[in-house]
A and B are shown apart, each in its own frame.
Chain A
Amino acid sequence: MSDKKRVIKVAPIAATAVGIVLVCLLWVLVSAKPNPSENADSPLLGQPAPAVVTTTLEDKPFDLARRKGSWVVLNFFNSTCVPCRIEHPLLLSFVQNQLSTDNPAELYTVINDDNDSAVSAFFAENKGDWQKIRDTDGSIAVAFGVAKVPETWIIDPNGYVRLRIAGQLSEGLLDEQLSLLKVQFGS
């Protein structure tokens, strides 16, 4: 028969156990600290840049390998992405500033999941006369590991990837980072 003397109080024990687990979960959620970092990591940093062979919006051929000798800045862009639109004036001023240096960097916009007419319309309205290159099947984005736009990449004159900025640019960030890299890697 059931022994009423040796009553192991299972309920409170189990309850306390569940309670402890839940308190831990809540504590973990509440105490989560954000991890701000502007320069994102990538296995490509310090490696030769992936091959980029495509056409520009003006149907001229584009080959990243032939841009060796200059610093190249690639900006992954989509005309409907809000942070891209917000950072656009910063790109304009970047290009402006580069004109007064002795080895101006070349800025290219990589069109990410967008159609030519929308991009042309955006640039017609917001200015920016640098080359915009197509990425119709997304292979350039995949090669760089770009999932979300905007992203900005800096490639040195020898074709090596030196910097990745994920997310919207902040004021002066691009100029500053480029100068640092120029000092670090020469020219």
Chain B
Amino acid sequence: MFAAAGVSSSLGRALLLVGIIGSLFGAIAAISSARSRDQAVARLIPRFAILIFAAAIGAFATMEYAMITRDFSMAYVQKVGSTATPALYNFAAVWSALEGSILMWVLILAGYTLAVCFWLRKKMDDVLANWAMGVMFIVSTFFFLLSFGPANPFAKGAPGVFDGPGPNPLLQNHILVLFHPPLLYLGYVGVTVPFAFAIGALVTGRVGEGWLLATRRWTLFAWGFLTFGIILGSWWSYEVLGWSGVWAWDPVENASLLPWITATAYIHSVLVQERRGMLRVWNLSLLVSTFSLTILGTFLTRSGVLNSVHAFSESAIGPWLLVFFGIIVIVSIGLIGWRGDRLHAPGSIDSVVSREGAFLINNVLFAVFAFVVLLGTVFPLVIEALQSRNIVVGAPFFDRLVAPIGIALLTLMAIAPVLPWRKASAELLSTRLFWPAWCGIGALGISVVVGATGFMPLLTFALGGFASGSALRQVVLATRKQGLRGLVGRTNGGMIVHVGVILIAVALAASNSFTHSQELFLKTGTPAYFSGHSFELIKIVEETTDRAISVKAMISIDGGQAYAPAITKFTKVGMNIGTPSVKTGVRGDIYLTLEPPVKQDSGEAHIKVFIKPLLVWLWIGGFLMALGTLLAAFPGRRRKPTDATSALIGSNDE
């Protein structure tokens, strides 16, 4: 067993070394092929891509094998493996800590490199394609190096260890842990692809529109998975963490949100470049920012710098990521500055009240949004470094500053879909916005009747109604003209995504403003009442497995089905995890948690009840976003070259 164990470790490291060499030579091949136009060298590129993918899969498989066979000679398995963890959670334990998640990054990046290579297989003589592959290989080299060196998952552990604590108990509670990190990484790592093409375009000077259109689906794919990953993370937070919320503005969440913000700005702004060749500097900057923010985010969350700014220099991985981040930013800014003359737009924006104007305002709003989130995350660090004192920038800061930005974005979402290119007249706008505006009034009226209070939430609901009206108007018009085909394509898919975003905004506004909670002390047989519902303790149940003892309180809500919030004590780690239980409903969720201490045989339970209005609409909105992204990926109505690109001014198009 030990002989085999040593082999596992060495095999893994050897494969990573192959990966380093493969991606290094791949980068050299790609860049030299770009400069010399040598076709023989260009033909080597796919071989290197296959090689590094094989190496990455091999290394990951070796890690999984070690984890599944509980090979405790490896330090990483000692850290997160355990004989008591069930198979599925054990499989997911590989990416539950730093080294394994960097290994997963390597795997996904190698996969994307191979996929892009395959997609470019007929265009390997194109200089831009070569440069893009070169960038992908360079980034792969970095991550292979990271995994071989400072974040080494194959390091040998202390001898004589035969069991481990398993992954953090919070990660053994819910099956989502199997999906959330890989899906998030598919998005997070995926933004490397448009970045590579952006660098390629800058280096070759071909900053026109061709490569943008070509990489549209790659960007949408990465953005879609990033969105989905973030929403899954919120769902996990809701189902597992027990505070009944979905987003706490903590640094790890912010790290995943920052690239999402700039990527969203990009997928909108790129439409202006496609249609009118403008905003090139914006688009390139947004792509560069998106990728840089993924590296910065990883640095912030993995280097320990947020615990204490001094921890950063003690961590192995921090300096590497910081230097890489610096290199990316300096090189990208240098390239943009160098190519500045070619980025000057041939056209110009004629009027503020036009789709170009709206998208430009959109870019500025998203940029401020990203700035606020980045500032809030980084500010405590800076203060600690400069003044050696600890401050906290928490949720109220972000909520207070992001709320008005959100309102502005909702307003744009309402108006922009009906705006034509170039210029809009007041007449045109009032025709097209008429019914959506009444939808907004309707939504406002319903909210007031139902009893909502507070200016901000009501404004959110009103604008939400307005914006849904605009989005649905577009979809209705398209389906009238083309039947079911009207649901497919970039615009229509995008409108469905918008509806999803609006539902999420409404659900967040409702649950942030109108959540009520109460602590109840229940005795079996005596129901307690809160917010129009009755809660009765039926019994307390204890379940023991070899890794945990869980105590559940069966609570019947309104005399119906029993819900069982629990407290689970993971015996090996000595950690107590509370597990909430949720009754979902269209109008709101009833969220139950069990509070310690629980005395099994006393027939008493101390629970906390949260009433969360409209929360389920968050998940419905997320589902619509996923659906809309899928629909947007399909080609829409084929545009004839002689079609007018925008509505003639003054015409009614009902």
A118-152 toward B: CB 8 Å interface, digit per residue (1/0)?
00000000000000000000000000000000000
* Cα distance, A19 to B292, chains bound together (Å): 13
- Partner among A9, A15, A29, A80 whose Cβ is within 8 Å of the Cβ of B385: A29
B95-106 toward A: CB 8 Å interface, digit per residue (1/0)?
000000000000
* Cα distance, A146 to B527, chains bound together (Å): 38
Given the known interface contacts A2-B348, A10-B281, A11-B281, the answer about A31 and B385 at a Cβ–Cβ threshold of 8 Å is yes
State how many angstroms separate the Cβ of B393 from the closest Cβ of chain A. 16
**B343 within 8 A of partner (CB):** yes
State how many angstroms separate the Cβ of B618 from the closest Cβ of chain A. 33
**B433 within 8 A of partner (CB):** no
Please tell me which stretch of A20-28, A44-52, A168-176 contacts chain B, meaning at least 4 of its Cβ atoms lie within 8 angstroms of it.
A20-28
* Cα distance, A63 to B348, chains bound together (Å): 79
CB–CB B340/A9 < 8 A: yes
Among B285, B343, B385, B386, residue most surrounded by chain A Cβ atoms (within 10 Å):
B385
CB–CB B385/A32 < 8 A: yes
**A35 within 8 A of partner (CB):** yes
**A186 within 8 A of partner (CB):** no
Please tell me which stretch of B9-17, B79-87, B329-337, B580-588 contacts chain A, meaning at least 4 of its Cβ atoms lie within 8 angstroms of it.
B329-337
* Cα distance, A86 to B357, chains bound together (Å): 64
B379-397 toward A: CB 8 Å interface, digit per residue (1/0)?
0011011101000000000
Residue of B nearest to A115 (CB): B597
* Cα distance, A79 to B359, chains bound together (Å): 58
Given the known interface contacts A28-B385, A32-B309, A32-B385, the answer about A11 and B326 at a Cβ–Cβ threshold of 8 Å is no
* Cα distance, A29 to B308, chains bound together (Å): 11
- Partner among B333, B378, B381, B382 whose Cβ is within 8 Å of the Cβ of A15: B333
Given the known interface contacts A26-B322, A28-B385, A35-B388, the answer about A11 and B337 at a Cβ–Cβ threshold of 8 Å is yes
- Partner among B329, B336, B381, B388 whose Cβ is within 8 Å of the Cβ of A29: B381
CB contacts (< 8 Å) of B343 on chain A: these are: 11
State how many angstroms separate the Cβ of A134 from the closest Cβ of chain B. 13
CB–CB A15/B337 < 8 A: yes
**A12 within 8 A of partner (CB):** yes
CB–CB A25/B382 < 8 A: yes
* Cα distance, A118 to B343, chains bound together (Å): 68
Count of chain A residues with a beta carbon within 8 Å of a chain B beta carbon:
23
**A18 within 8 A of partner (CB):** yes
* Cα distance, A145 to B281, chains bound together (Å): 52
CB–CB B384/A32 < 8 A: yes
Given the known interface contacts A11-B337, A12-B340, the answer about A34 and B386 at a Cβ–Cβ threshold of 8 Å is no
* Cα distance, A55 to B309, chains bound together (Å): 40
State how many angstroms separate the Cβ of A23 from the closest Cβ of chain B. 8
CB–CB A12/B337 < 8 A: yes
CB–CB A34/B310 < 8 A: yes
A149-182 toward B: CB 8 Å interface, digit per residue (1/0)?
0000000000000000000000000000000000
CB–CB B386/A19 < 8 A: no
B268-282 toward A: CB 8 Å interface, digit per residue (1/0)?
000000000000010
* Cα distance, A10 to B334, chains bound together (Å): 13
**A16 within 8 A of partner (CB):** yes
Q: Which of B492-507 contact A (CB under 8 A)?
A: none
CB contacts (< 8 Å) of B340 on chain A: these are: 9-12
* Cα distance, A32 to B340, chains bound together (Å): 36
Residue of B nearest to A18 (CB): B333
Residue of B nearest to A80 (CB): B574
**A183 within 8 A of partner (CB):** no
**B41 within 8 A of partner (CB):** no
CB contacts (< 8 Å) of B305 on chain A: these are: 29
State how many angstroms separate the Cβ of A19 from the closest Cβ of chain B. 5
- Partner among A7, A12, A19, A25 whose Cβ is within 8 Å of the Cβ of B330: A19
* Cα distance, A29 to B306, chains bound together (Å): 11
Closest 10 A/B residue pairs (Cβ): A11-B340, A32-B385, A12-B337, A15-B333, A35-B388, A34-B310, A15-B337, A32-B309, A2-B348, A28-B385
Listed A/B pairs (29) with beta-carbon separation below 8 Å: A2-B348, A7-B341, A9-B341, A10-B281, A10-B340, A11-B281, A11-B336, A11-B340, A12-B337, A14-B285, A15-B333, A15-B334, A15-B336, A15-B337, A16-B333, A16-B337, A18-B329, A22-B329, A25-B378, A26-B326, A29-B312, A29-B322, A29-B385, A30-B313, A30-B322, A32-B309, A32-B312, A32-B385, A80-B574
Beyond the given A11-B281, A12-B337, A19-B330, could you list 14 further A-B residue pairs with CB under 8 A, ordered by the A residue number?
A2-B347, A2-B348, A7-B341, A11-B336, A11-B340, A11-B343, A14-B285, A15-B333, A15-B337, A16-B333, A18-B329, A29-B305, A29-B309, A35-B388
